[in-house]
Structure 1
């Protein structure tokens, strides 16, 4: 039975009082642009400048849509839909295709989360997050003085958790697939065996990790252009990458299903790789791994229903908290990224990430107060120290108090089929190319997900996230994640499929993209294109993409004590689908990378 969290008037009196005393958006002239779904404000200084990373247009289809991080993977998903497959068939095919064409994050050596809504509106969530090996210990990355040993949880064999992606795809297909397992695996096998042409971004990524590949994988030539490990040849756009060992690994999975990865030859190769490099994963760890079907979070936001991932992901709880914190405020009237709009969102993010650090972890190991964290009374208590006059000091913000409680590299894809079934999957190796360990004889990267545990309470991980005892390392425990695959309904009907990679910025990117559509009237592609910002409690600063804030917003927020940092890189790699009023699908892929939407 799926619980539904009912609408509420969270903080209504507080927020209305605040609105009466505040004059949001205090600058003089504001230009408005009429869009198909509403009106949003975008600039005070220069009406010719739009708040978008690019002017990419969405892809429109009526019978199916796939949006993923790589054009080859999106083409595979579309072909499966056109062959009569459903959304789950296409999602499984895309997951395996990404393991071939997008090795920086696509994977069979990592894990992830799936949110699925069938044509009748029933929702399901699958947790195929990695687990700590059976020999893992809470202090495994600390020295004799209790200090963190730098890098051990990030690169090399000791950084890897037990992979979950293959088991997750087997479970999803077994329960909901329509086409044969053989059929959905074949495209990935073909891509690995025959090779594919690298994009410019593909080539840059492989060149960037060349030294790590040689250091961590001595004597191996995987993902190197030359068969000589020390060769200095570099990859270029259009070069063909053939992965013969990976093709054979995928063929074993195709022929034997789960046993083709978690037992037999592949399991033996993984265990041998671990022994060679001092890692902990054993054949028993692989054999004992199983993904878990969990109860979805369903939460109301105005006339919408948010269907999202429960823990072990922190993303669903955090997203609902963020939506509910900002629901009482007139964001549409204030305008996109105006000072008061941004201030409310930053303050919500500050409190949510503090709660994440204190309360969230693997529900199979600790009591996670999911419902309490999203409750109106609790959220109201978290907002009492908010003031429009000045920024809250993060040093004064801690996780809230709940009575009775004891205390960037990922990829996302979205699929909708002709019947209106939808899949939202976020999957990862954690850092780009994971631990940089390639399994000898099998040809795939292993994850570095152990860094997503709280290696030591209060010490930030590679994304700057702080963790505590709830997310401490324990044998066979799943590490906490920020992944936030999400599906939205509007008036009970499928409305949006959304998600992104980005480490700690996943939650805030998904949050902003949703608000861009339902509060600021953007199309799906505009919401993806729109420039973004991020705050995560600690460190106490707000980072933003160049151009995301008008100068007036920057000045106003700084006057109130906010620390703002303009980024030199970008936020998010969104892949989303929106159901338009006429029933057609708008696929939106992020122009910040090779992301591609395909529909028909």
Structure 2
């Protein structure tokens, strides 16, 4: 409590305070220009999965780059500093909102190679061959990350392309300090790296990795130099493309030079919906995340979640029942819109969503076996990484990219120094057979040459009263959708700030298997007992998602939420 000096009246003291507040320059009052005392920033913010990459993005913003410039730089920096998920050998999605509220989305998801086919992972008896879609050269789709960054920069970038790639080259060539998390992940993967990469020596250290060790990647630096100097052709043609094709030929992989040359990132119209007085801008198919997120939000909108309370019995039951129905729809109706007519309007029709929740009962859990994909008239992955960026002008970018599994297929491109994805597992290898995340698929997501596999990635931007409100996304395979869902509700319904909303323990359900997965201590023992008495099976796991998000406060500052489950970092100015 502030003590009023003696011999000074309260009214005079308050008047003097007001004069100080109005006369003293803002930067002096706040201590740092553009920052207030609670870690909120006026001029821009980067939140991503590794501290060195976050610094790269912030440096680009300070140099006058916009949100897309910073995103390109962060993407390549993460390819160096976060090899388990950051990549040039994978793909992803971008949701963009300009300072004026114009929206766009970029699909740079991987594609099935020209030689892929619907039965490629089945044996002669029609059964799925274990691990063929995960840890072999046949597991890799045609990468899209480099094409995506080139296309984003071409449309929205301000700074020179070379200046955006150079920081990643510096990190790869000069090295950077490994965090405790990264050292642990590299040691965990060491035996797999050796097993799947005979004759190669990438990311492996005889004595094991320790926090503070310097990680140098010279071959990756040379690859990035090709991309810096030749843009798209530095990856999809020339020496790097030759190395990719040589790697494929060595072990019966499918990606050819023609596949690489033919790859293109695609601009798609954002999916936009409303939750109460908030506008939600998110990713269309082949991401399942956008449609699923909007279905979830509309399913629970009529119910008083704020009154029920955060992670309380009624809240969890309502959200789980909505999730079961939405993931059932996902299994049948979602796929690549260039190959399959996704019934977007029907899935998002309010009457349809209401009808899906009609058999929800407070008396008992709805068994997942009794839930089927909905019907309507006229119907014909864990290692990912996310980053959220807002620039000085208010342009916002939400990007999620992936290799699918941790370190992808675990297979490096000899000479090029980067990991291949195992995204082909995100296709439905056989209708009704779950992929590595337990997700069920069907004809809509069957394997075809040139087709993009379905994804759960859910990069999202939220508006309030026509103004930017939130930028959010996460890795986490099938849990991505529900983690974004919960984070948004944590802010809107449960009055959490951005860091609190990101840090809170999470839970997840996805139709099949018929369980509720929760982080340890996410649900208290009393609530678990109540859930189990109604027929819900609750299991625990170490962590769900790694959300990185930005909230614009009512005062106009940017407030970051960096997930404490990893090395995620928020930086602003």
Common topology (TM > 0.5): yes
Name the residue aligned to 2:432: 458
Conserved 8 A contact 1:543-1:564? yes
Query: Is residue 553 of structure 2 the alignment partner of residue 580 of structure 1?
Result: yes
State the Cα deviation string for residues 421-480 of structure 1 (Å, max 9, x = none). Answer: 000000000000001110011000010000000011111100110111110000110000
What is the CA RMSD across the aligned residues, in angstroms?
A: 0.9
Name the residue aligned to 1:14: none
Report the alpha carbon displacement of residue 58 of structure 1 after superposing the two structures with TM: 7.4
CA distance in 2, matches of 1:138, 1:572: 31
Name the residue aligned to 1:282: 256
Query: Is residue 270 of structure 2 the alignment partner of residue 324 of structure 1?
Result: no
State the Cα deviation string for residues 305-348 of structure 1 (Å, max 9, x = none). Answer: 00000000000000000000000000001111111111110000
Query: Is residue 207 of structure 2 the alignment partner of residue 207 of structure 1?
Result: no
Query: Is residue 82 of structure 2 the alignment partner of residue 102 of structure 1?
Result: yes
Conserved 8 A contact 1:309-1:486? yes
Query: Is residue 217 of structure 2 the alignment partner of residue 243 of structure 1?
Result: yes
Name the residue aligned to 1:385: 359
Alignment CA distance shift 1:166-1:58 (3 Å): farther
Report the alpha carbon displacement of residue 377 of structure 1 after superposing the two structures with TM: 1.3
CA distance in 2, matches of 1:224, 1:323: 44
Query: Is residue 450 of structure 2 the alignment partner of residue 476 of structure 1?
Result: yes
CA distance in 2, matches of 1:221, 1:565: 39
Name the residue aligned to 2:569: 596
Query: Is residue 42 of structure 2 the alignment partner of residue 62 of structure 1?
Result: yes
CA distance in 1, matches of 2:87, 2:161: 18
Report the alpha carbon displacement of residue 404 of structure 1 after superposing the two structures with TM: 2.2
Find runs of 4+ consecutive structure 1 residues off by over 3 angstroms.
Answer: none
CA distance in 2, matches of 1:277, 1:444: 17
CA distance in 2, matches of 1:90, 1:542: 38
CA distance in 1, matches of 2:241, 2:508: 40
CA distance in 2, matches of 1:392, 1:266: 52
Query: Is residue 121 of structure 2 the alignment partner of residue 141 of structure 1?
Result: yes
Report the alpha carbon displacement of residue 351 of structure 1 after superposing the two structures with TM: 0.2
Q: Which moved more, 1:555-564 or 1:573-582?
A: 555-564
CA distance in 1, matches of 2:97, 2:485: 20
Name the residue aligned to 1:517: 491
Conserved 8 A contact 1:59-1:588? no
CA distance in 1, matches of 2:512, 2:357: 18
Matches within 5 A, 1:43-192: 59-192=39-172
CA distance in 2, matches of 1:197, 1:421: 31
CA distance in 2, matches of 1:213, 1:551: 41
Partner of 1:424, secondary structure, is strand
Aligned residues: 536
CA distance in 2, matches of 1:385, 1:60: 44
Larger radius of gyration: 2
Structure 2 counterpart of 1:435, from 404, 409, 416 = 409
CA distance in 2, matches of 1:437, 1:565: 32
Conserved 8 A contact 1:58-1:587? no
CA distance in 2, matches of 1:379, 1:251: 49
State the Cα deviation string for residues 469-493 of structure 1 (Å, max 9, x = none). Answer: 1100001100000000000000110
Name the residue aligned to 2:29: none
State the Cα deviation string for residues 213-241 of structure 1 (Å, max 9, x = none). Answer: 1111101111112xxxxxx4211111111
Structure 2 counterpart of 1:536, from 499, 510, 515 = 510
Conserved 8 A contact 1:87-1:416? yes
Q: Which runs of 5+ in 2 are unaligned?
A: 1-36
Report the alpha carbon displacement of residue 358 of structure 1 after superposing the two structures with TM: 0.7
Name the residue aligned to 1:293: 267
The structure, 1 or 2, with the larger RCO (C-alpha pairs under 8 Å, 6+ apart) is 1
Conserved 8 A contact 1:58-1:589? no
Conserved 8 A contact 1:299-1:320? yes
Partner of 2:404, secondary structure, is coil
Conserved 8 A contact 1:58-1:525? no
Alignment CA distance shift 1:382-1:58 (3 Å): farther
CA distance in 1, matches of 2:412, 2:540: 36
CA distance in 2, matches of 1:393, 1:487: 33
CA distance in 2, matches of 1:523, 1:446: 37
Structure 2 counterpart of 1:421, from 395, 398, 404 = 395
Query: Is residue 280 of structure 2 the alignment partner of residue 313 of structure 1?
Result: no
Name the residue aligned to 1:337: 311
